[in-house]
Chain A
C-alpha cells in the first residue's frame, strides 16, 4: 500500500492498468484507446504502462476503440477503455453492441459537455446518454472513490451473475485534472481481489460458434429479459464485493449510494459526483443551524437502486434533485429516475434543479438558494434552472 498525490485521470489509468495486469496469468488484457479531452491522460498512462501480458491498441476513433475492446473480450481478454463527450457519442453504436454482447468491459467516462457549442467542462449528459445500453453506471465523487470503483467494476462486471460492461463516470477537470491523496494497493492485493477474467461466451478456437447473428423477436425479447435479470443481481454482487474489498484493502468502498443526515430529515437533496461533496458541506452547515436537512449521493445509476433510494428517503416530505445534465423537452435525468421511483409511493414533493450545465460552478451559494427554494415550496413545478433560483 502506498499513499500518493495523483490526478483523477492518472488514478483511473493506474486502476485500469493494475486490473489489466492482474489478468496476466489468464488471457491477458487489451484496450482500444483514442484521445479526447479530458480523458486523454488515462490512455496516455495506459500506453506507457509496461504490461506483462497486455496490449493497448491505438486506434483511429472511439468507435474502433470499443470495437477493439469487443474483439479482445470475445477472445477472452480483460478489456477497458476511456472516453468523454462527443467521443462517447461517436462510440455509441459499439457501446450498445458491447452491452448486448454482454462483454464485461470497463470504461471510464470523464464527463464533459456534448457539443456544439464546444465546451470541455463537466456535464453528465454524455454518460447518461448511454443509460439504455445495457451497461452498469457508477458515479464517483473523489479520487479514492474513483480508484476503488474501477476495481469494484471489474469484479462486478466479470461476475457470471452480471456479465455486463460498466461505465465509471467522473467529473471532467474537477476530478480528472485535480490532485488528491489516494491509497494505492499493491499489485498482489489487486491480484487477490480480481479473479482471472472469464468471458464464458468467448470464441473458443477450433470450436464453431457464431456470436451475434440473427435472432427472432421471441429470442431477442428473452435476451433483453436475461439482461434485466442480471441487472437485478448487481446490488447483491456489489455488496459481496464490498465485503471482500474491505477484507483485502482494509477500507470499505462506497456501495450503491451514500447518505448523510437522512435519518430524521424532512427534506433531502440528491446529487452525484463532486457536486455531492459541496452539497454535503452545505447540509452540515444548515444542520448546525437546526434545519432537518439530509442528502443522498447517488453512485450506482444503472441499475437504478429504487428500493435503496426509497429507504434512504424514508419519511422526508420534500426531495430536491440537482441535475448536471439536461434532457431537452423533459428535464434532469436523475429527476426522471427518482420520479419513477417515487411513483405510486408516499406523497413527496419532488423538485428538479438543473445546475452546473456546461461545467458551471455549483457553489455553496447556489445550493443554499436551492434549499431555500425547496423550503418555501408547497408544490413542485417544472425543472428549475440555476438562474431562476438565485
Chain B
C-alpha cells in the first residue's frame, strides 16, 4: 500500500475510507498509487458507469476525495473534453483524469475515446482493465483474454484480447503506458511523467477482480506480478505513438502459474497453449517495435516526434 502523504487532510485522499470496493480490487491499489503520484494535487475525476463509480458509494457521501463527475457509459472522454476545455480557458491547471473500466474503454466508449485522442484533448485517461463487465456480474468484453470463462462465455472465450495499446498508439498521442499494481515505482513514475506532458495520455492498468476472476483477494498484487513476469501483461511505454520502451522483460515464469490461481481459467487450467501463443505474438511485435523505433534512453522522456 502507498504511504499516505502526511500534509494532505485525510478526507482529501483520492480513495477515502468507506468506499464500496470489494476486497482485493485492483482499483483500490491503483487509486492509492495515483493519489501518491499526484501528491497534493487534486485532479478532476471523470468516471463512466462502472464499478469505478459504485466505488463512490451512495449520495450524499462519496468515496472519492476529488471533484468527480459520473458520466454515461460511453461518454467519459467527451465529458472530460468539455471539462478540460473550460478549465483550460480559465487557467485551472488541475489534471482532468478519466477513470474507466475495460467495457467503457475497449467496447462502448471506443468511438468517444478514439475521437478525444484524435483531437489530442488535454486528458489523462486511465483504464482499469479487469477484463470483464465486472459491475454487471462478469460478462465477456473485448478485453477478456482467450480461454477465460465469463457468465456469457461459459465454455471459455474463443477470441483473443483486443490490443488497445496499439490502437491508442495509432492515434499518435503524446504518451501511452501500461501500469502494474505489482510495480509501484514504475507506476508512480509513469503517472508523474503523464502528468508532466500535455495532450491525450493513455494509461492501461491490469486490475484484478477477485469476484470475476475467481481468485483470492489477498493474491491480487501477486497475480499482476505473475502477469508481468510471464509476459502476459508487458510493462512498456509509447511516446508520441511511435517510440517504444520496454520497462520489464519477462523471466521464465510460466503463464500457467498465473492461470492456475484463477478459476476463470478453469476450462484451460494448465493447458495455456492459446495464451502462450498470444504472449509470443505480443512480444514478437513489441520487440520489433522497440528495436526499430526505440525511445531515446531509459529514464528520460522519449524522442519527440512531430505529429503527422
Contacts and interface: CB of A to CB of B under 8 A. Distances in A.
A205 B112 contact: no
Interface stretch (A68-76, A240-248, A267-275): A68-76
B38 interface: no
B87 A210 contact: no
Interface string B57-86: 111001011111111101101111111111
Interface residues of A, number: 46
22 contacts: A30-B86, A32-B81, A63-B78, A64-B77, A64-B115, A66-B78, A68-B85, A70-B75, A70-B78, A70-B79, A71-B71, A72-B83, A75-B90, A207-B67, A208-B42, A208-B62, A208-B65, A209-B68, A212-B53, A213-B57, A213-B62, A214-B56
B67 A205 contact: yes
Contact of A64 (B42, B66, B75): B75
Interface string A28-69: 101010000000000000000000011101111101111111
B71 A68 contact: no
B81 A57 contact: yes
Contacts of B286: none
A205 B44 contact: yes
A118 interface: no
Contact of A71 (B53, B83, B94): B83
B111 interface: yes
B119 interface: yes
A59 B78 contact: yes
Interface size classification for chain B: 35 or more
A212 B69 contact: yes
Contacts of B69: 70-71, 74, 203, 211-212
Nearest to B12: A208
B282 interface: no
The 3 closest A-B pairs by CB, nearest first: A71-B82, A67-B78, A60-B115
Nearest to A34: B115
Given A60-B111, A64-B77, 16 more contacts: A27-B86, A30-B86, A59-B81, A60-B114, A64-B78, A64-B111, A70-B69, A70-B82, A71-B46, A71-B85, A75-B83, A75-B87, A206-B94, A211-B69, A212-B53, A214-B58
A67 B112 contact: yes
Prevailing SS type, chain A contact patch: mixed
Contacts of B183: none
Interface string A180-215: 000000000000000000000001111111111111
Interface of A: 27-28, 30, 32, 53-55, 57-61, 63-77, 79, 93-94, 97, 203-216, 219
B54 interface: yes
Given A67-B112, A74-B69, A205 B94 contact: yes
Contacts of A27: 86, 89-90
Contact of B87 (A57, A59, A205, A216): A205
B62 A209 contact: yes
A67 B72 CA distance: 8
Contact of A205 (B72, B80, B92): B92
A28 B82 contact: no
Contacts of B90: 27-28, 75-76
Nearest to A68: B82
A151 B116 CA distance: 30
